Structure 1
Amino acid sequence: MFCNKEISGLEDLRGLRVRVGDQSAANFIGQLGATGISMPFGDVQQALSRGVVDCGITGPASANAGGWPEATTTVLPIALQLAINGYAINLDTWNRLDETQQSQLETAIAELSDDIWSYSEALYEDAMRCNAGESPCEFGNQYALTEVAVSDADLAAVTAAVEEVSLPLWATQCNNVAADCEATWRETVGAQLGL
């Protein structure tokens, strides 16, 4: 969460306008007392500069590359979104591979996954240092944002918003596609996450 107003936590978002990427995120932000404004990433830096929005949500490396720290003063490093990537192969194609090829492909994908996680973590840490004006700053531009510590109250607010807004809205959409979607998710992924 990058803001051009001084904030000490999510409670300070009440009444502020927050750039989000989509309507689901806008609903989530609404639960926190702010107004979510959907806006393309490329428009955010100027909107922050002009006061059209008070805050914006993105990852620290994306914010750095987009120049958001030029128009903000504070960063709250709390995860409010997530992206999922996956690799798939057609079963007929898979079955045409011999056991050695299947094993090599599985090994390569596992190594790629490990490399992506390692790189993502290093990029995140570097971008946070760059945004706060700390060294080393290897991949981005140095700025001087104030980094606000994430509190237990912030984490509780996110949990409540996920349970009260995000999951119910998602479940409705998912159940419209497959009637047992929510039930299956809750029995599997939801059970693993304690949701």
Structure 2
Amino acid sequence: MKHHLTAVSALALGLAAAPTLAQDIPATEFNVVGSIGILSMYQDMEQPFWSETIVEATDGAITANIRPFNELGFDGGELFSLVSNGTVQMAHQVLAYTSGSVPMNEATDLVGVVADVEAVHQAAMAFRDTHTAFLAENHGIQLLGYGTYQSQVVYCRDEFTSLTDLEGRQVRASGASQQVFLEHIGASPIGMAFGEVPTAMANGTIDCAITGALSGYLAEWHQPANYISAIPINHGVIAHIANLDWWNSIDPAAQEAISTGLAELETEMFTLAATETADGLSCNTGGECAYGDAASMTLVPASDADMALMAEAATEAVLPAYRDRCGDECATAWNETIGAAMGFEIQ
């Protein structure tokens, strides 16, 4: 994982060149809840940033205590409300986990709209100002940036050759738009925590599950699953969020150092996610694998019919359902930002 270390080193150099001088920053200590602890998002990006990069860049003025949400006994979705009410000062929130209670949080990563990691970042950049204002005004949260997992792909225990073969199957989904998509193609979406999937697939509770190409490999989903599709269902956007009252209470110099660092971390996260999609597919299907022994899953190639189905689902099901969940004002904001950038429109 040499490229991961290079990314962290580059981030440290960027922070060191930031305009705020370390001696201008008062001692600032706080807690951060990270994403899933066994995955590269946490291990190679979040944890080194808070434990090493920001500390070194500020000569120890800023110290953050970070733990992944799964080690703290959380399912992940509750972090948003805990940051909102000030129980947690900062978190890296997987936005799909909050799509049921806060539909606007899923805006940047709707199924069928964003075809690759670059498009997800483009959508996030288009929506950033709207999302920042919404979170501050409605939830007391300061948005400090985004990140993303790799492309979210389908793992199945039993053979399938196209997305239409998922009809009638029980499929683990995270996020409302994944659920809408699965219902559109005749599958049954099942809500389930990430760590519960391998056992549930092995014992027949579910037939398939959607997650990141590399994330699933690292969590050993290839043990019960035998087939994997390369089609990006969506991605898995993360938001770097802070309690707004707490954020406004810390020194502006500390705010600048954290904001600058997280902006650079965002770039590194999206860069890493693009390479990890290919890495994950290779690791799962017997190719080169820098993360361990390659698994022997069967790759289900994307077909023109599958891609057409994704586009149809976006237009006929995912976007109308998003409007119904989020409201007309929200849909208008989406059309003017992400829709305009991606070439889609919610009718």
Match of 1:164 among 316, 324, 333: 316
Q: In structure 2, how many angstroms separate the alpha carbons of the residues matched to 1:109 and 1:21?
A: 25
Q: In structure 2, how many angstroms separate the alpha carbons of the residues matched to 1:87 and 1:44?
A: 26
Q: In structure 1, how many angstroms separate the alpha carbons of the residues matched to 2:174 and 2:285?
A: 24
Matched letter for residue 191 of structure 2: S
Match of 1:153 among 301, 305, 313: 305
Q: Cα offset for 1:172?
A: 1.9
* DSSP-derived class of the 2:238 partner: coil
Q: Cα offset for 1:88?
A: 7.0
Over residues 96-120 of structure 1, what are the superposed CA-to-partner deviations in whole Å (9 max), with x where a residue is unaligned? 869xx96x87765554333222222
Return 105-114 or 115-124, whichever deviates more: 105-114
* DSSP-derived class of the 2:278 partner: helix
Aligned 8 A contact 2:212 2:235 in 1: no
* DSSP-derived class of the 1:58 partner: strand
Which residue of 2 is the match for residue 186 of structure 1?
335
Q: Cα offset for 1:157?
A: 0.9
Query: What TM-score do the two structures reach when normalised by structure 1?
Result: 0.81
Q: Cα offset for 1:57?
A: 0.5
Which residue of 2 is the match for residue 78 of structure 1?
231
Gapped regions of structure 2 (runs ≥ 5): 1-153
Aligned 8 A contact 1:61 1:140 in 2: no
Q: Cα offset for 1:68?
A: 1.0
Over residues 31-53 of structure 1, what are the superposed CA-to-partner deviations in whole Å (9 max), with x where a residue is unaligned? 01211122111211111111221
Gapped regions of structure 1 (runs ≥ 5): none
Which residue of 2 is the match for residue 40 of structure 1?
193
Q: In structure 2, how many angstroms separate the alpha carbons of the residues matched to 1:130 and 1:159?
A: 28
Aligned 8 A contact 2:163 2:306 in 1: yes
Aligned 8 A contact 1:64 1:140 in 2: no
Greater strand proportion: 2
Matched letter for residue 161 of structure 1: A
* DSSP-derived class of the 2:306 partner: helix
Which residue of 2 is the match for residue 59 of structure 1?
212
- Aligned pair in 2 of structure 1 residues 30, 109: CA closer, same or farther (>3 Å)? same
Question: How many residues matched?
Answer: 187
Aligned 8 A contact 1:127 1:139 in 2: no
Q: In structure 1, how many angstroms separate the alpha carbons of the residues matched to 2:324 and 2:238?
A: 23
Query: What TM-score do the two structures reach when normalised by structure 2?
Result: 0.48
Aligned 8 A contact 1:77 1:149 in 2: yes
Over residues 101-145 of structure 1, what are the superposed CA-to-partner deviations in whole Å (9 max), with x where a residue is unaligned? 96x87765554333222222232222211111112x112442101
- Aligned pair in 2 of structure 1 residues 191, 49: CA closer, same or farther (>3 Å)? same
* DSSP-derived class of the 1:180 partner: helix
Aligned 8 A contact 1:20 1:38 in 2: yes
- Aligned pair in 2 of structure 1 residues 24, 192: CA closer, same or farther (>3 Å)? closer
Q: Cα offset for 1:60?
A: 1.5
1:30 aligns with 2:183: yes
Query: Percent identity over the alignment?
Result: 31
